[in-house]
């Protein structure tokens, strides 16, 4: 960077609008919330289905998370919503030599209007996120009060549409975690019962 460029940037910094700090704070707030949304979408998509049997490699869940982690916000949002509102598949059957199987599919029921509304809301908010990152911030002029005011207004309005969707994801995350915990407890009880039965059989006189 040349000395003229440094001087120009310094002058721009000195001429920033008094609203600049507030604008930065709200930019950061919304960007962080979008990151939270993307993180929850990816966790849900990677964990929404599970079919664990005895002898299954423990790397499968990790591989699933790795694959999902490479998806963009728009892709992971569409993939999750298509899956979470779909009909569950028939559970797999035990193969020869398998003693235990833990299978679950987390799904949400709802009217067609509800499903359409949720999908449309997520589609719009993803587009808004891209609009913010790729256009609004690029066009932002920190030296002008009007530019700061417009962006602040847009960010507050966007935040109001973003938070209900985050609440929706938090609720479904909690429900899924509860279901997973119940499944693990059930599998543990079945396993312990089978172990006790095997010990009893071994203790019987020949």
DSSP string for residues in 16-61: --TTHHHHHHHHHHHHHHHHHHHHHHHHHHHHSEEEEETT--TTHH
Q: So what's the pLDDT on residue 10?
A: 43
pLDDT in tens, 105-136: 889 988 999 999 999 999 999 999 999 999 99
Q: What is the mean pLDDT of the chain?
A: 81
Sequence-distant (6+) residues with CB within 8 A of 134 are none
Say what the pTM is.
Answer: 0.75
Considering only residues 82 and 195, tell me which one the structure prediction assigns the higher pLDDT: 82
């Amino acid at each position: 960077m040349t000395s003229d460029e440094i001087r120009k940037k310094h002058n721009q910094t000195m001429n920033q609008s008094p609203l600049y700090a507030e604008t930065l704070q709200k930019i950061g707030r919304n960007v962080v919330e979008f990151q939270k949304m993307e993180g929850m979408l990816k966790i849900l998509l990677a964990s929404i289905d599970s079919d664990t049997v005895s002898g299954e490699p423990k790397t499968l869940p990790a591989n699933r998370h790795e694959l999902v982690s490479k998806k963009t916000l728009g892709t992971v949002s569409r993939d999750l919503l298509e899956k979470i509102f779909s009909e569950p598949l028939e559970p797999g059957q035990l193969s020869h030599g398998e003693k235990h199987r833990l299978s679950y599919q987390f799904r949400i029921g709802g009217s067609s209007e509800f499903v359409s509304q949720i999908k449309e809301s997520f589609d719009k908010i993803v587009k808004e996120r891209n609009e913010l990152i790729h256009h609004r911030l690029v066009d932002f002029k920190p030296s002008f009060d009007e530019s700061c005011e417009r962006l602040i207004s847009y960010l507050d309005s966007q935040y109001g549409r973003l938070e209900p969707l985050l609440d929706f994801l938090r609720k479904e995350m909690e429900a899924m975690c509860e279901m997973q915990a119940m499944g693990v407890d059930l599998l543990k009880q079945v396993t312990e019962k089978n172990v006790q039965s095997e010990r009893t059989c071994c203790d019987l006189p020949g």
